[in-house]
Amino acid sequence: MPDEYKNRHGRVEQYLHWKICKHFYVNTYSYWYEHHPESVTEVQDFTILWDYPIHTDRTIQVNRPDIVIKDKKNNTCLLIDMSVPSDRNVSSKVYEKLAKYKDLEIEIEKMWHLKTNTIPVVIGALGLIKKGTNQYVEKIPGDPSLQEIQKIELNSTEQ
């Protein structure tokens, strides 16, 4: 069961990273499943961190979002964190993600002087989403498709 969760989670993260990289003209792969994210990707005024711990002045327990996008041009930072819980836990997971990264948001704003927001991407194990999930996904550069995320998640679940 833990491996199944990691597989679903990892495949969706891979797709999101691919869409973000394509948005910033970093990626040359034709298909998301050929994409192999690097820990740090820099292009122009943007830095994309993949599963990379954020070192802060103060000890923060939760300091490793799935994807971080630093936009130095617009002075913003996005913390994207993915979860694939059981369908009954979808709503609570969204709120948990937002609360979990609040301290890190505050620290990043102090250290990097960037307006920081957390984007929870929570898709139930059977594809269920919370109302308003599309509004979070729309904030991710590269215009990832919520339907594609659901399809990847469902297809990555072993039968």
Instruction: Report whether pLDDT(9) > 90.
Output: no
Helix (H, G, I), strand (E, B) or coil at 125: coil
Instruction: Report whether pLDDT(63) > 80.
Output: yes
Instruction: Kindly report the CATH number assigned to the domain that includes residue 39.
Output: 3.40.91
Question: Looking at the 3D structure of the chain, how many domains does it have?
Answer: 1
End-to-end CA distance of the chain: 12
Q: pLDDT-derived band of residue 159, with 50, 70 and 90 as boundaries?
A: very low
pLDDT tens by residue, 133-142: 999 999 999 9
Beta strands in the chain (DSSP E): 40-43, 46-50, 67-71, 76-83, 115-122
Rounded Cα–Cα distance for residues 102 and 47 (Å): 21
Beta bridge partners of 49: 40, 68
Predicted TM-score of the model (pTM): 0.90
Helix (H, G, I), strand (E, B) or coil at 9: helix
pLDDT tens by residue, 91-129: 999 999 999 999 999 999 999 999 999 999 999 888 899
Q: pLDDT-derived band of residue 47, with 50, 70 and 90 as boundaries?
A: very high
Range of the domain at 50: 2-155
